[in-house]
Amino acid sequence: MPSKNLIRALQYAAQQHSPQRRKDEAQSPYINHPIALMHILNIEAGIDDEDVLIAALLHDVMEDCSGPHQMFIEDRRREIGEQFGAIVLSYVEAVTDDKTIDKNSRKRAQVEKGTSKPLGAKLVKIADKIANLRDIKNAPPANWNEERKAEYFRWANEVVGQLRGSHEKLEALFDEVAITP
């Protein structure tokens, strides 16, 4: 039976992501993505650490639901810390991109900072890459050509390469999907 905290995290993530859609042609509801991460971690990889599962649900809240102002990022940070605790917050912060820097620098930082992340954050990041690669194969962003898809796959392999040794089953799931589309 899921805990009340996990259900509260699902509700919070659903509220935060409610206006957002994925980039696929069908413009799927964004909340499907964090739910996919939780499924990958728990059902497919057998990870039952509640803090990791909650962080998976919340992994994009600070980055994607705060708007352009640092004030709102601080609001999300405070809410996550107060509602779900310091461990969950540390995992979410560790996987949150710094939107104040350009996209290429953010992508490079994901590779360079991979080994310094706490284990729970590494698990969330690997699950995120698995979910994204599956989406690119099955329901790619509407305007992505084959080269852009292949570039994402190359970069995802670089990111996960820095996280290896974190969880054998999760890494095997990544390897199954990580072949360029």
DSSP assignment of 35-61 equals HHHHHIIIIIT----HHHHHHHHHTTH
Query: Which one of the listed residues 24, 64, 93, 158 is annotated catalytic?
Result: 64
The question of whether 64 is a catalytic residue gets the answer yes
Cα end-to-end span (Å), the chain: 37
Examine the pLDDT at 166 and tell me if it is beyond 70.
yes
Rounded to 5 degrees, what are φ and ψ at 21?
-130, 155
pLDDT at 124: 98
pTM: 0.94
Provide the pLDDT confidence category of residue 65 given band limits of 50, 70 and 90.
confident
Query: C-alpha angle with apex 133: 131 to 135, nearest 5 degrees?
Result: 70
Within a 10 A sphere around the Cβ of 53, how many other Cβ atoms?
A: 27
For residue 2, list its beta bridge partners: none
Mean pLDDT value across residues 71-87: 91
How much is the mean pLDDT over the chain? 93
Examine the pLDDT at 6 and tell me if it is beyond 70.
yes
- DSSP secondary-structure letter at 116? G
The question of whether 49 is a catalytic residue gets the answer no
Q: Which domains does the chain have, with CATH numbers?
A: 4-177 (1.10.3210.10)
Query: Which one of the listed residues 24, 44, 49, 63 is annotated catalytic?
Result: 63
Provide the pLDDT confidence category of residue 68 given band limits of 50, 70 and 90.
low
Helices 4-17 and 32-39: crossing angle in degrees, nearest 10, is 150
Question: C-alpha 32: how far from its chain's center?
Answer: 12
Helices 168-177 and 119-138: crossing angle in degrees, nearest 10, is 20
Provide the pLDDT confidence category of residue 70 given band limits of 50, 70 and 90.
low
Mean pLDDT value across residues 117-129: 98
Distance, in Å, from the CA atom of 19 to the CA atom of 177, rounded to the nearest integer, reads: 29
Say if CB 21 and CB 139 are below 8 A apart: no
